[in-house]
Amino acid sequence: MKPVIVWFRQDQRLADNPALSAAVQTGAPVLPLYVLDDETPGPWKMGGASRWWLHESLQELSRSLLEIGGSLVLRQGDARTVLAALADKVDAQGVFWNRCYEPFVVARDKRLKDELPGAQSFKGSLLFEPWEVRTGAGTPFKVFTPFWRAAKVLPEPERPLPAPTSLRGIGGVESDSLDDWGLLPQAPDWAGGLRAEWAPGEDGARKRLAAFLRRVEGYRDGRDRPGEQATSRLSPHLHFGEISPRQVWHAIRHREATGDGEKFLAELGWREFCHQLLFHHPELPSKPLDARFAPFPWRDDDAAFRRWTKGLTGVPIVDAGMRQLWQTGWMHNRVRMVVASYLIKHLGIDWRRGEAWFWDTLVDADLANNAAGWQWVAGSGADAAPFFRIFNPVLQGEKFDKKGDYVRRWVPEVAALSDKYVHRPWQAPADIRAGVKDYPEPLVDLADGRERALKAFRALPSS
């Protein structure tokens, strides 16, 4: 029989992989393929942290495929060109893949379906397709709560598919060497913190989910406290498709029902909402959804931006988050909102600069989530926080990191301060501040930064 090519993308797993399962069920030889396409995404080529994760994840996927009789082929270049050439070379009867929803991917995949014989795509990355959850008028939602309410009355997501136990492989097909792709940092090797924190791959994802299930009780409240291990940390595994949202959904849904579990499923719902937004608003990563914000007078302050990226703003909760990001490739979600609000509103710097920095440094950099999150904080997106809702980073720290455990871990310069001053070291008495070595004064007075932001917002057109 002619072989079937299974094109892996953001679905680097064997279990609950509809494209892989469908290919195996044909009974034909299966050619697993991954294409490193740095041309199609345009400015959204994978950042450094994502490329590190990709290397590790592909290694794990290759091992898993070998165990069931397959051999992962790696190719680099424009995916349309690579697929056409490979399909012709092996005389493939079809090319199967699971759908992704970035606008450049959607456009390319539509062309591939016209060009490749036997091309088929499957739902493997979301619980609901972006066109399945609609308002009563048949339009996409722009507010999360009614979106999620409508999604939950749809038929429950399908049960996850089992991983194939064997497949008919195909030999004699040349593959690139993963090491030759240069995905890992070399000089310097800045990935030590990532290696210590993460175990990319399907097995790592399963273990991460199992660990979360053991402590899901308390998630509703604990998820806001960055000093605690209360969140799932599944986001990079979900982005790279090492675990499917259906696997997570059913693991949570079919244990004892609790408010904590429901709250976590709503976070899966937010991921779905973000992908729906990107699908229906392809300019989400680059243009404000609310056109009033197009002329916003952003400040061009490179020095302040650099201090923000390095965690040297002089505001401990902000600096803790930015240092956690640099060392581990991840940041607690509550702190993501705080650091984003500080950049946008206290420093007056364009949200797109922050979005680009996150894109390069996050191991869970996801175009839909990243863009929607930054626009939410900026007040210019769908279901956005009003611009005049400005997070006070000191109050956020004192509320969600009461004992300063998170700040003390990531900003050791202030670790010796009492709880009273650990989030506001500039207000400590002079004799106490003398013990704070090598920590900068705040970049901006928080009250002045807030007033400047509100003044710029009030000057915007009302409609």
CATH code (residue 276) = 1.25.40.80
Query: Looking at the domain assignment, is residue 66 inside a domain?
Result: yes
Taking only the tens place, the pLDDT of each residue in 2-56 is 999 999 999 999 999 999 999 999 999 999 999 999 999 989 999 999 999 999 9
Question: What are 175-191's pLDDT values in tens digits?
Answer: 999 999 999 998 899 99
Please identify, among 230, 257, 280, the residue that sits at the C-terminal boundary of a domain.
280
Instruction: Quote the tokens at residue 4.
Output: 């079937």
Q: Which of 181, 190, 298, 326 is catalytic?
A: 298
Range of the domain at 29: 4-124
Residue 255's pLDDT band (cuts 50, 70, 90): confident
CATH number, domain containing residue 344: 1.10.579.10
- Alpha carbons 200 and 59: distance in angstroms, whole number: 9
Residue 141 inside a domain? The answer is yes
Is residue 115 part of the annotated active site? The answer reads no
Looking at the structure, tell me whether residues 394 and 275 fall in a common domain.
no
So what's the pLDDT on residue 256?
62
Looking at the fold, whether 376 and 411 belong to one and the same domain comes out as: yes
Say which of 132, 267, 398, 413 is annotated catalytic. 267
Single out the catalytic residue among 148, 198, 374, 410. Answer: 374
Judgement on whether residues 296 and 363 belong to the same structural domain of the protein = yes
- The two structure tokens encoding residue 331: 């940041």
Catalytic status, residue 256: no
273 φψ region: left (φ > 0), alpha (ψ -120 to 50), beta (else):
alpha
Kindly state whether residues 249 and 390 are assigned to the same domain: no
Distance CA 263, CA 206 (A): 20
Contacts 24+ apart (CB under 8 A), 138-145: 140/276, 140/277, 140/280, 141/273, 141/276, 142/277, 142/382, 142/383, 143/382, 143/383, 144/269, 144/270, 144/273, 144/383, 145/383
* Shared domain check, 137 and 63: no
Say if residue 354's pLDDT is above 90. yes
Decide if 166 is inside a domain. Answer: no
What is the CATH classification number for the domain harbouring 18? 3.40.50.620
Distance, CA of 10 to CA of 241 (rounded, Å)? 5
297 and 276, same domain (yes or no)? no
- Candidate list 270, 308, 359, 376, residue with the active-site label: 270
Pair (296, 434) in one structural domain? yes
- The catalytically annotated residue of 53, 97, 351, 376 is 351
Residues 26, 151: one domain? no
The rounded distance, in Å, linking the Cα atoms of 10 and 271 is: 15
Domain-located, residue 250: yes
Q: Looking at the structure, do residues 327 and 389 belong to the same domain, yes or no?
A: yes
DSSP secondary structure string for all residues of 408-437: HHH-GGGTTS-TTTTT-GGGS-HHHHTT--
Mean pLDDT of 279-287: 97
The chain-wide mean pLDDT, for the chain, equals 96
Position 181 in a domain: no
| 267 catalytically annotated | yes
Segment 130-171, tens digit of pLDDT:
999 999 999 999 999 999 999 999 999 999 999 999 999 998
327 part of a folded domain: yes
Count of domains observed in the chain: 3
Give helix 367-378 / helix 259-280 axis angle, nearest 10°: 90
Q: Is position 392 annotated as part of the catalytic site?
A: no
Q: Are residues 336 and 383 in the same domain?
A: yes
pLDDT at residue 463 greater than cutoff 60: no
pLDDT reading at 257 higher than 70: no
pLDDT tens digit sequence for 113-135? 999 999 999 999 999 999 999 99
Is 88 in the same domain as 212?
Answer: no
Cβ atoms within 10 Å, residue 360? 15
* 363 assigned to some structural domain: yes
Please, which residues have CB within 8 angstroms of residue 369's CB and are 6 or more apart in sequence?
235, 271, 274
pLDDT, mean of residues 366-387: 92
pLDDT band per the 50, 70, 90 thresholds, residue 389: confident
Of 72, 98, 124, the one marking the end of a domain is 124
For residue 311, what pLDDT band results from cuts at 50, 70 and 90? very high
With beta carbons less than 8 A apart as the criterion, state whether 256 and 366 touch: no
Based on the residue annotation, tell me whether 333 is a catalytic residue of this protein.
yes
On whether residue 380 sits in a domain, the answer given is: yes
Helices marked H in 198-258 = 202-213, 219-222, 235-239, 245-253
The predicted pLDDT at position 216 comes to 93
Whether 97 sits among the annotated catalytic residues: the reply is: no
Q: 333, 392, 398, 426: which is the annotated catalytic residue? A: 333
pTM of the model: 0.96
> pLDDT-derived band of residue 388, with 50, 70 and 90 as boundaries?
confident
Residue 404 backbone class (left: φ over 0; alpha: ψ -120 to 50; beta: rest): left
Looking at the fold, whether 115 and 135 belong to one and the same domain comes out as: no
